[in-house]
Structure 1
Amino acid sequence: MNIEEYRLYCLSKKGVTESIPFSKLPNVLVFKVKGKMFTATDINTFDSFSIKCEPETIEELRLQYDALEEPPYFSKKHWSRVVVDGSISDKILYEWLDISYRLVVAKLTKKERLELEHL
């Protein structure tokens, strides 16, 4: 996966927007659904990206995949940093982006979820 594939995949999801919202981190590209972040990456390096994870399986996944690390800026209980080093197949990376997106959508209000369904 390269940064353009990552970007296009994220933008292909319903209701997703992209922005660079952190003035002190001008290289961090963030993808949100209905204003809630589900992934972010450094656009200059694309050496990793952050995803939301299920708390019940996050530790097991980190043991299974060396490239899945605790994130430097987010809650380690809910987020992971995925190192883009080729050790994890694109198929799995896309699945993890799907899970991150679904976890965020699940926390949206009923009204927001209904709005997404009608996009």
Structure 2
Amino acid sequence: MNVEALRLYALGKEGVIEECPFGPQTLVFKLHNKMFLLLALDAIPLTMNVKCDPDEAIALREQYPDVVIPGYHMNKQHWNTVLPQQLNSTLVKKMIDDSYALVNKKTGKSNKK
């Protein structure tokens, strides 16, 4: 998936806002003011950071060792950095969905308006 496809997918989720709090090179997607996806626009190749269950984070790193690594500049237990263009779009979307769900669950708020 390219950056625009990732961006549109994230923005298609209910309650998501897009910001650039770290400068124009990083898109940050939030739900209930909590980050769940970061896209590094200046990284070549493109990278994204997603929140993960700690056990799932380790499993993904083991299964895709050169494509999923501990979160760059993030809590390594709860975040992974991913090279999305090297994975199939179904898996990338699942990672984004799982990250969104973790943030939604943590805030204790419903998806409904």
1:67-78 correspondence runs (5 A): 67-78=67-78
User: What do you get for the CA RMSD once the two structures are aligned?
Assistant: 1.4
1:1-119 correspondence runs (5 A): 1-22=1-22, 25-45=23-43, 47-66=46-65, 67-86=67-86, 88-109=87-108, 113-114=109-110, 116-118=111-113
**Contact 2:2-2:85 within 8 A present in 1 as well:** no
Return the offset for 1:85.
4.1
Distance 1:55 1:44 in 2: 27
> What is the percentage of aligned positions where both structures have the same residue?
34
Counterpart of 1:43, as a letter, is L
Mind listing any 5+ residue stretches in structure 1 that lack a counterpart?
none
Runs of 4+ in 1 over 2 A off after TM superposition: 43-46
**Contact 2:48-2:84 within 8 A present in 1 as well:** yes
C-alpha offsets along residues 27-49 of structure 1, whole Å, 9 cap, x if unaligned? 11100001100000122446110
Select the structure of larger CA radius of gyration: 1
How many residue pairs end up in the alignment?
A: 111
